[in-house]
Structure 1
């Protein structure tokens, strides 16, 4: 009985039948969506902007972290890949309608079954639907948590049917998507000689030594080590098991999911003779139990319990965070992996042997424990007045991480010898020893803890009279979050109300109100008011369109309102203190530091305020085509910026932050899906396109003498650098003794200007090349354009799905040491530098000359190193076969499916060496090949 009332509550006005429109709502209601706080909304009576992905959409991906199943799924949701390890950087970065503030607080609010929780702690198999709330009409009710958008995850629940059991197993092999190709020993030594020569210095390596590297002579003294091959194997693997039980009666419904995955990384352990593993390994077990119990004819209880136990294993030193730095940072000729007597290679310059770091430094094991529990009681109060219900929910969440470590050190040696240029024999042998072998030492470390409690009380009123329908909601939400560390306790309260009215199923109106606050602001600024209004017009229900057979549904909608975002830095209204200068006393002149004020307290800090307007259209045409179009404009104000540019340093206290920043964000989204059946053949073709473009209006920017230096007026994180004008040539008249160019321009970043150095444009005309010549180059690191294409077809149980996803209007700067910026500070060099300037390649070179020193003129942000990071990736392709019932029934099954999936197989881009989404030295992104079986009982 109570379900009837819950399903009729109109929490917010819903907008879109988006690109991938699916009938995914839980239980028997195929026209409702959960938009948070466990409120369900009728899709044909809504007027706000949301995006939806169903369990069927997500199942096309193999993803340890569900965020990696969202690429290209929902217009307006930008999902960017990070590193490829299973436990940290494998989580994707998500943005709703781009970025509208100035710092790193652009992540949306993620709710799982109505409560704020980490998406990484659940599995894809548990998810019924993902709903993205995008405009103020949908997010205002979240008060100071909604400005960055809200992602609402609904997990699966039981149904009134006999028990169904589903079991699946998927095996995945993975390999690096791309890896930098570092130069071999001969290439490195030749490049170093070249760099020294261009710097006017003597060669480091003789011809005989170069020949030894090239020909493999004397490998202990002139080694040629491919560290990538020595450290990493070709493939890793993942086992993924999943079992679900789903069913129930009128009184009790249940959904139980058990998941176990075990994944191994790409490290080689062929030199590990110990009785323990140093392989990168991640193991995880998830358990979820969702219960719906009808306690009485008017009282329902929902109880959700979810837990996760995970474990990480890694070497004592070479973990997933530094493994790529070790591989790419150690030259091929630095030292051999091991000498003939078993000693590990090393040197005074390169103090870490990548292979020894994996095999001989012990191991560490991380443990994470997560518990989610929530209980909801729903009371039907129709006996008091028809359509009234009351619900109360409480939750308790806890997450803790700790480490056990058994680590040790190893001794290593560096042996050298010269080669006689006449006899070719070795002489002048040296040997230097470093470090020492130590036994395993046990240690522990606490990785952190987070605890959270919520209380949510709601009153719902749902009434229909004649052609009128009214839905009303009153809500109280209090939560307490305690993290591990200073200033990580958050208390929040949200009073919210919502009123939705529809007339004759044609005209829709919604009003959302929130009055929310928290403890991290001063008492005078803690609570703020956030209203939003949404309007909709169901044109397809008008008489003049009712008989148009081509139009199944057509709706116009608009919304305007406010939502907020609590400050990313807490407790700015309180003074902050830290260590001050030393003072000395006693006969021994002992020193102790005092305290000093780190920043001035600012009681006027306010939460960010987002004023957003949205206009959209939803249509379903010919019974086959679903269209969605949205355009939006947002002004984000009260953003934290430094007061340093507007406050004198005379006051003697470091600058604080003030709520003066303003950013403009605007764009549009388009989604389309064509679905059709021709006999036994069904197919779908979909596309989506999202544009989100921002501009800084105010950021309290320091005075800049020239307009081309101003960051205000550009996009957030717009890249700035020097404009290059090619390279100086050997015949350009450089005098070789100072930094004055032939045309009289002083190059301030170098003391001597040489052929092969970058020639820059003197933007401000002061005859100097310095920071005052920097201009906006390229775009931001966050794509302005995000798009995808989907294809799917099935014939008599045989089918395929494919998703291609791309991004454009995005720029990155190639400044990774060794991979892109070679040699200086004892860096390595990759084949990327093959395009460097030499006297012979002066007319075709795209990169400056080599130098063994940190050449500040050449290695700095400029158009030389800027690259367009646009890409189009084949995110997933799936081939599957549903076994026919005649075969399945013989083995007492209800259904069976075999499938093959490929993930991240291709990328069309202009990049070399690395993934265009991840150019930092992290564990490489992966492509994978999966095979699986799913059966149902």
Structure 2
């Protein structure tokens, strides 16, 4: 399908022209157009729009000016309590007929405080509006400090929590897709599983996750925070913004501030949402009759006689299992929140409770989370004390074996879910798993997996902090912050007697339990200062931070579960078979940091920011235990200069930053730089056959192990136009990650018996452009705004260290990370159509005249002999083909309201990347699997097709070659555009709510992932991938669901 996109600039121009046409300045423009005979005559509407016509009227004329007495064109004047209004002309003048008894006009303009003006018996008025300092002085959190947004010199972005919360999601990460340029989110439909988040590309081969800071506590936010509790979301992208977090900030920082109580009487707010979810696309595979017909053709094309039951169609003639129906269901989402808050001038409080439940669209997959959040704040003279605490308890149930999304497409429709004929000692419930030779498949029976095994997880977590502020002076404040994160995780697996895969080994019943705990303590002391001396302004923060973390786990399992009445006991003590227990190696580390930032501004025109942090990490040896992470940034507000006088440009600022950030890979453990010896091996020598104690080096020493580093530079332009009606920001970034960790190949004869050790050896460069534009129109009863963002991201491997002689790459499956190319670029055999005749096969020769594909037959895939050696091999003839990383990603949002109705739209687009479709590879291999309904195998009478001939692999090298795993046959363009969310809301009228003593209430209907435009044949092009080096692999990715929700929110 052809994608047709309307550029955002065209949309904005159209909206702007519409706004101009609606303003009273349109007649002036028309009058000017009539100045020459050749001009086009325009017909304009009257200046005054009367939506109500009172019986008796009076005329009001006047002018609207700003704080400097300059005219304000386009200001809105409305007779209060009606929809009768007009707007000012280019000189700020207006004329309006109002009801004879009218006493008040409501006057507003973008960027100014709305005023109610009493007219009494006046017929001529002059109205002065003052700037809305809420816009000019809007503050953002930049780490240990809040500053005015207009004074920011680094690449910071603010994500609207209201926009994020419109998406019904398991976690915060899933909600922010498309809302911020440079932030890449890849979602999954697995209940309770994290979405993948990357900020400005890939900085590491091992860790691309951003750092999360919740109310000052560095902690994992995804499964902890309820989206409804979030007050603000800040994304720190470049070195200037993130250097205050030093060694953990190279992947970006997401700062989350939760809602606090506000001054005023006690308020009770609530929200409730219920939705249903399902997949919007299924695999179109054959039913039993279609499968049987193609199975017979498969035998015949291979010159083999099909089994009698297949040839006659008598194999399970009454079975036609739709395995997708057996796996998929209509799931549900529930989200309930209740908040109690209030406060005085010297204190505030907030208590909230929430419950979220996701019954997944795959039967047997569920997630629920209950949370309680408490915060208070009290001012005692110069002291302010407070705390934030979140308690959560989550449960996840998912498939313990196989992947139902992958298996349901391959399972054969002629296999029943269960059948008494299959009951035996190893299969007591008679699950259908296939039979030889009639119906063989190696996919798992997903219903059997669901009923024979279980995998349940419980997570209990507490995250919080307590703080004390002391104000030495109005410009100097000390803060002590103590943070805590504690989690207790419990996992139980249960395996009943039975089989769920053809030809699989029979295993006894078993039960296993794993328990783990984690805690982290954070202590910080900071001094914040803020002084102004005439035209000079300086503010900043200095401090010290210490964080300690420890984790450990233990587990046990046992076979041969006891049963009673056909029910299994699910405790280890009830089992009677083999017992196994294990304890993981505890992880314990400390980080000590010294931090500082200084922001200087002269006359609000020239801005300078210096930031630095020194970190010491116990996970590294003495050679590299300490690291310094500095940054510098500057900005010039051109619009403040006397020589700059462009009335339609409200603000114009250019900025630049440069600095260094660090990354720590969480899986390194406590002492990754130290050598370890394993003394378990035993060896028998001599005639006495006495075991002797042996040893081997379990971990090689690397005293030079250290942080991964990222050198980041950013150049930006921020501007606003038409009195801040349009705002725009453009950033160019270029970041080089050096000392990235990779596994160094070390042969076993040098003592390496436990895997290749980590070394700091690789480099990755990421560069791109981010753009964001917002247009606001709040001048009329119809209020709306539209915003959009675009991001280009390009990554390139600069170095992979010593991987061996003449080796400048890292191989991972069907991808290769090679110097000069993207991380994990597809590295596969290139196909060149299908052999149509034997003559084509015979003419496809190498340089020596030998056949390049001697086993091929007409109807087989032709491969490109890349190295020209006259033969096709899967290792030597691969070449680079496309990339799993998108060239462009985009997001757009539209918010509109008219009286009590509201509309919100969110769009997401990702373009220029390819996905390896492993499910289609399984289906189109024709071997032990179902077939696509639209499969079109080649035959002598059907040569216009991309599908090769069908046959059995056994003894047929041509068919085997058609199904090579590492070929471009399975790569697909996965570019897509998606309506991420649509929400229609209605705010109930106060006349109704006042009767039931409700302050406000709103009902809304929303749709999520309503439609997707893509050419990808899989269930969802938005795949998370297998790992960083195989980011575009679709191995049965659980698609993002379509969700229809109904919600209610309000406040008492």
1:559 aligned residue (648, 657, 668): 657
- Provide the C-alpha distance between the structure 2 equivalents of 1:719 and 1:63, rounded to a whole number of angstroms: 31
Tell me the number of residue pairs that the alignment of Structure 1 and Structure 2 aligns.
855
Aligned to 1:668: 769
Aligned to 1:902: 1007
Greater relative contact order (CA < 8 Å, ≥ 6 in sequence): 1
Match status 1:760 vs 2:863: yes
- Provide the C-alpha distance between the structure 2 equivalents of 1:870 and 1:892, rounded to a whole number of angstroms: 50
C-alpha deviation, 1:447, in angstroms: 4.9
**Residues 475-874 of structure 1 aligned to structure 2 (within 5 Å):** 475-484=543-552, 485-486=584-585, 488-545=587-644, 548-567=646-665, 570=668, 571-577=671-677, 583-584=683-684, 594-622=694-722, 623-644=724-745, 651-653=750-752, 655-700=756-801, 701-703=803-805, 711-732=818-839, 734=841, 744-747=850-853, 752-770=855-873, 771-779=875-883, 781-816=884-919, 819-824=922-927, 826=928, 828-831=929-932, 834-846=935-947, 849-852=950-953, 855-856=960-961, 858-874=963-979
**Residues 97-136 of structure 1 aligned to structure 2 (within 5 Å):** 97-101=200-204, 103-120=205-222, 121-136=224-239
- Provide the C-alpha distance between the structure 2 equivalents of 1:346 and 1:741, rounded to a whole number of angstroms: 52
1:168 aligned residue (271, 279, 283): 271
3-state SS in 2 of match to 1:914: coil
- Provide the C-alpha distance between the structure 1 equivalents of 2:472 and 2:856, rounded to a whole number of angstroms: 84
Aligned to 2:85: none
Aligned to 1:402: 490
Aligned to 1:425: none
Gaps of 5+ in 2: 1-110, 114-132, 424-428, 553-583, 810-814, 1024-1033
C-alpha deviation, 1:670, in angstroms: 0.4
Query: In terms of mean alpha carbon deviation, does 547-556 or 619-628 score higher?
Result: 547-556
- CA RMSD after TM alignment: 3.5
1:227 aligned residue (323, 342, 346): 323
C-alpha deviation, 1:231, in angstroms: 3.4
C-alpha deviation, 1:48, in angstroms: 0.8
**Do the aligned partners of 2:161 and 2:232 also contact (CA within 8 Å) in 1?**
yes
**Do the aligned partners of 2:142 and 2:241 also contact (CA within 8 Å) in 1?**
no
**Do the aligned partners of 1:320 and 1:923 also contact (CA within 8 Å) in 2?**
no
Calculate the TM-score normalised by the size of structure 1. Answer: 0.84
In structure 2, relative to structure 1, the CA distance for the partners of 1:231 and 1:615 (3 Å cut) is closer
1:300 aligned residue (384, 388, 393): 384
C-alpha deviation, 1:805, in angstroms: 0.4
C-alpha deviation, 1:127, in angstroms: 0.7
Aligned to 1:454: 522
C-alpha deviation, 1:160, in angstroms: 1.4
Query: In terms of mean alpha carbon deviation, does 33-42 or 671-680 score higher?
Result: 33-42
C-alpha deviation, 1:358, in angstroms: 6.0
Larger Rg: 2
3-state SS in 1 of match to 2:240: helix
- Provide the C-alpha distance between the structure 2 equivalents of 1:188 and 1:530, rounded to a whole number of angstroms: 62
**Do the aligned partners of 2:697 and 2:751 also contact (CA within 8 Å) in 1?**
no
C-alpha deviation, 1:133, in angstroms: 0.5
**Do the aligned partners of 1:362 and 1:406 also contact (CA within 8 Å) in 2?**
yes
Query: In terms of mean alpha carbon deviation, does 590-599 or 253-262 score higher?
Result: 590-599
Match status 1:324 vs 2:405: yes
Which string of whole-angstrom CA distances, capped at 9 and with x for unpartnered residues, describes residues 463-487 of structure 1?
Answer: 1111111113111111112223436
C-alpha deviation, 1:634, in angstroms: 1.1
- Provide the C-alpha distance between the structure 2 equivalents of 1:819 and 1:858, rounded to a whole number of angstroms: 9
C-alpha deviation, 1:77, in angstroms: 0.7
Which string of whole-angstrom CA distances, capped at 9 and with x for unpartnered residues, describes residues 797-840 of structure 1?
Answer: 1121111101112111122377545344x3x2341770443333
**Do the aligned partners of 2:140 and 2:149 also contact (CA within 8 Å) in 1?**
no
In structure 2, relative to structure 1, the CA distance for the partners of 1:858 and 1:639 (3 Å cut) is same
C-alpha deviation, 1:165, in angstroms: 1.4
In structure 2, relative to structure 1, the CA distance for the partners of 1:862 and 1:359 (3 Å cut) is closer
1:378 aligned residue (469, 479, 491): 469
In structure 2, relative to structure 1, the CA distance for the partners of 1:774 and 1:291 (3 Å cut) is same
Match status 1:934 vs 2:1049: yes
Aligned to 1:257: 352
In structure 2, relative to structure 1, the CA distance for the partners of 1:355 and 1:696 (3 Å cut) is closer
C-alpha deviation, 1:175, in angstroms: 0.5
Gaps of 5+ in 1: 1-20, 269-278, 415-431
- Provide the C-alpha distance between the structure 2 equivalents of 1:22 and 1:128, rounded to a whole number of angstroms: 24
3-state SS in 2 of match to 1:522: coil
- Provide the C-alpha distance between the structure 1 equivalents of 2:599 and 2:504, rounded to a whole number of angstroms: 78
1:57 aligned residue (152, 160, 163): 163
Which string of whole-angstrom CA distances, capped at 9 and with x for unpartnered residues, describes residues 79-131 of structure 1?
Answer: 1112x12222xx21111011133x13111111111222222211110111111
**Do the aligned partners of 1:195 and 1:852 also contact (CA within 8 Å) in 2?**
no
Query: In terms of mean alpha carbon deviation, does 179-188 or 201-210 score higher?
Result: 201-210
In structure 2, relative to structure 1, the CA distance for the partners of 1:794 and 1:591 (3 Å cut) is farther
C-alpha deviation, 1:776, in angstroms: 1.0
Which string of whole-angstrom CA distances, capped at 9 and with x for unpartnered residues, describes residues 739-792 of structure 1?
Answer: 999962445xxx83333332111122221222222211011x232321112222
**Do the aligned partners of 2:917 and 2:1018 also contact (CA within 8 Å) in 1?**
no
C-alpha deviation, 1:735, in angstroms: 7.7
Query: In terms of mean alpha carbon deviation, does 587-596 or 810-819 score higher?
Result: 587-596
Aligned to 1:427: none
- Provide the C-alpha distance between the structure 2 equivalents of 1:467 and 1:761, rounded to a whole number of angstroms: 69
**Do the aligned partners of 1:833 and 1:847 also contact (CA within 8 Å) in 2?**
no
- Provide the C-alpha distance between the structure 1 equivalents of 2:505 and 2:213, rounded to a whole number of angstroms: 53
- Provide the C-alpha distance between the structure 1 equivalents of 2:953 and 2:682, rounded to a whole number of angstroms: 39
Match status 1:203 vs 2:306: yes
Which string of whole-angstrom CA distances, capped at 9 and with x for unpartnered residues, describes residues 294-344 of structure 1?
Answer: 1x2111112011101122346xxx559633344234212234533499963
In structure 2, relative to structure 1, the CA distance for the partners of 1:190 and 1:165 (3 Å cut) is same
Match status 1:369 vs 2:460: yes
In structure 2, relative to structure 1, the CA distance for the partners of 1:433 and 1:242 (3 Å cut) is closer
**Do the aligned partners of 1:836 and 1:850 also contact (CA within 8 Å) in 2?**
no
Calculate the TM-score normalised by the size of structure 2. Answer: 0.75
**Do the aligned partners of 2:268 and 2:339 also contact (CA within 8 Å) in 1?**
yes
3-state SS in 1 of match to 2:547: strand
In structure 2, relative to structure 1, the CA distance for the partners of 1:523 and 1:433 (3 Å cut) is closer
**Do the aligned partners of 1:741 and 1:753 also contact (CA within 8 Å) in 2?**
no
Aligned to 1:419: none
In structure 2, relative to structure 1, the CA distance for the partners of 1:501 and 1:412 (3 Å cut) is closer
C-alpha deviation, 1:924, in angstroms: 4.0
In structure 2, relative to structure 1, the CA distance for the partners of 1:899 and 1:863 (3 Å cut) is same
- Provide the C-alpha distance between the structure 1 equivalents of 2:691 and 2:636, rounded to a whole number of angstroms: 74
**Do the aligned partners of 2:621 and 2:703 also contact (CA within 8 Å) in 1?**
yes
**Do the aligned partners of 2:272 and 2:335 also contact (CA within 8 Å) in 1?**
yes
C-alpha deviation, 1:689, in angstroms: 0.3
- Provide the C-alpha distance between the structure 2 equivalents of 1:510 and 1:412, rounded to a whole number of angstroms: 62
In structure 2, relative to structure 1, the CA distance for the partners of 1:869 and 1:455 (3 Å cut) is same
C-alpha deviation, 1:583, in angstroms: 3.1
Match status 1:387 vs 2:475: yes
